[in-house]
Amino acid sequence: MTTSKLFEPYRGPVLNTPHRVAMAPMTRNRAGETRVPNELMATYYKQRASAALIVTEAVDVSPRAVGYPGTPGWYTDEMKAGWKKLVAEVRSAQVAPAPIFSQLFHTGRVSHTSFQPEGGAPLSPSSDAAPVQLYTAEGMQAASPPEALTKEGIAEVVAEYVAAARAAFDAGFDGIEINGGNGYLVDQFLKAGCNQRTDEYGGGPDDRIRFLVELVDAISLAIGPSHVAVRVSPVNPTNGVSDPDPQSLYTALVDALRGKGLAYLHMIEPAASPEVTRVIRERFDGTIVVNDGYDKALAEAAIRDGLADLVSFGKAFLANPDLPRRFDVGAPLNEPDPATFYGGTDEGYTSYPSWTDG
């Protein structure tokens, strides 16, 4: 019998979960050249069916959203059929019902012409190239200089997100999580270090949050706000996107999202110093999921102290398909192997063992 807060059921204004140990979204690049979800991916998620909330890897909303090999998409009938089968299989593997969300992303400037239809330029709010090297068919190459989105282009991208969200909802997901962090398209709009626009999508915090808020509103209209979640990374400069004043930016964002009835807000911020999250917690009226560097003890403290409602685990869930049970019984954890994180076979993907008692 556990007394841990981590294993208390959660009843939120929108989201209900059987306990508090969620699976963070993780790109694993196992969808091959077709980018269609396959049986190996279904096995991986089924193995992790005991999560309080499963957030899938980031899924490309359209062909122009792509920036990596082997990431799955939401834009063909085969992809939709693959996800429908996968989500049904994961549900049938769940012992207690728990929500399953599809993370939607558009890589924006974190892309290369070789991933783009007809070799075109990637899209971004501004035209500065991402200061990163990308894994392409011809080896590591610098991210390609992007084309700054026009207003018509922004409206098209919003429509692509709406179509992907509808497809996810129709396929049986409980909802979608907008990937608003880690330097991808939404983050490129949010953060001053990347967004140089002079129209209403650039400038102060209220302008830089506009694209994300438009996405939230358009998707909410299509599938209902209770099926929409947002993930942000206020302080991490992944993919060369940073902001000098995250408190102001994310205060503006939470003020805009409050009252919309969203499923949850997912904060990526180091467990040791969740400064922005503390402010968000005070101002947000919905469920908060925290992530980044948590272990069992830190997660328990975050729930107990009221910082968060759920804690998501990335690398620990990757390496421990039965992570909630291991936490519950105090079992040792398998170590993740970074060499097999991004692409490859079943090795380092579905090969991590579950805990067996004695």
Ligand X SMILES: Cc1cc2nc3c(=O)[nH]c(=O)nc-3n(C[C@H](O)[C@H](O)[C@H](O)COP(=O)(O)O)c2cc1C
Binding footprint of ligand X on the chain (CB under 6 A): 24-27, 57-58, 103, 179, 181-182, 231, 268, 291-294, 313-316, 341
Please say which residue, 211 or 313, places its beta carbon nearer to ligand X.
Answer: 313
Taking the C-alpha atoms of residue 99 and residue 54, their distance in angstroms, rounded to an integer, is 7
DSSP state of 314: S
DSSP conformational letter for 69: T
CB 300, min distance to ligand X, A: 15
**Whole-number minimum distance, CB 186 to ligand X, in Å?**
11
Both tokens assigned to 116: 């783009």
**Per the residue annotation, which of 184, 201, 294, 352 is the catalytic one?**
184
Bridge partners of 96? Answer: none
Active site residue 184: yes
Min CB(105)–ligand X separation in Å: 7
Quote the CA–CA distance of 163 and 59 in Å, as a whole number. 13
Are the C-beta atoms of residues 83 and 160 closer than 8 Å to each other? no
Residue (62 or 202) nearer to ligand X, CB: 62
In the complex, least distance from residue 289 CB atom to ligand X, rounded to whole angstroms: 11
What's at 320, amino acid-wise? N
Indicate the residue among 62 and 103 with the shorter CB distance to ligand X: 103
Q: How far is the CB of 230 from ligand X (least distance, A)?
A: 11
Taken as a whole, the chain contains a residue count of 358
Q: Measured from the CB atom, is 130 or 268 closer to ligand X?
A: 268
Give the N- to C-terminal CA distance of the chain in Å, as an integer. 19
Q: Among all residues, whose Cβ is closest to ligand X?
A: 314
* Three-state secondary-structure class, residue 58: strand
Q: Which amino acid is at 318?
A: L
The answer to whether 186 and 109 have CB atoms below 8 angstroms apart is no
- Shorter beta-carbon distance to ligand X: residue 140 or 272: 272
Q: Looking at the annotation, which residues are catalytic?
A: 184
